[in-house]
Amino acid sequence: MTDNRQKHIDKVRKLLSMAQHNASNENEAATALRQAESLMRRYDIAHSELEASKLKADDMMRGDTNESRNSLWVWYLAWAAANVTDTKPTKRQGLVQFVGVTEDVQIALMFFDYLTNVVERLAKNYAGTRSERNAFKMGAVMGIGGSARQIQQERREAFAQANTTGTDLVEAKGALIESTFNLRYSKAKRVNVSSLTSYRAGLAAGKKVSLTSQIGGTSRSAIR
161-193 pLDDT per residue, tens: 655 444 455 666 787 888 889 999 988 888 999
The set of residues, in sequence order, having a beta carbon less than 8 Å from that of 202 and lying 6+ positions away, is 122, 123, 126, 135, 136, 137, 138, 139, 140, 141, 142, 143
Mean pLDDT of 115-140: 96
* CA-closest candidate to residue 19, choices 44, 6, 7, 36: 36
- The residues with which 92 forms a beta bridge, in sequence order, are 95
pTM of the model as a whole: 0.72
Q: What pLDDT score was predicted for residue 222?
A: 31
Choice between 163 and 91, residue whose per-residue pLDDT is larger = 91
The rounded distance, in Å, linking the Cα atoms of 78 and 183 is 15
Can you give the pLDDT at residue 164?
Answer: 44
In 85-214, which ranges are continuous DSSP H helix?
102-124, 130-162, 169-180, 196-207
User: Residue 74 contacts by C-beta under 8 Å, 6 or more apart in sequence?
Assistant: 67, 96, 116
* Rounded CA separation 159/169 (Å): 8
How high is the pLDDT of residue 216? 46
Answer whether 78's CB lies under 8 Å from 108's CB.
no
Contacts of 190 (CB under 8 A, 6+ apart): none
The mean of the pLDDT values for the chain is: 81
Residue 53 confidence (pLDDT): 65
Give 10-42 pLDDT, tens digit per residue: 787 777 777 666 555 667 767 777 787 788 777
Beta bridge partners of 97: 64, 90
Residue 64 main-chain phi, psi, to 5 deg: -85, 140
- Please choose, from the candidates 91, 191, 105, the residue with its C-alpha nearest in 3D space to the C-alpha of residue 141: 191
> What per-residue confidence (pLDDT) applies to 153?
85
Q: How far apart are CA 95 and CA 68, in angstroms?
A: 5
What pLDDT does residue 213 have? Answer: 61
Determine how β-strand 60-64 pairs with β-strand 88-92.
Answer: unpaired
| pLDDT at site 209 | 93
| Residue 83 confidence (pLDDT) | 92
Residue 211: per-residue pLDDT: 87
Comparison of pLDDT for 158 and 117, the residue scoring more = 117
The pLDDT-based confidence of 80 (bands split at 50, 70, 90) is very high
How confident is the model at residue 22, as a pLDDT? 56
Q: What is the pLDDT of residue 223?
A: 30
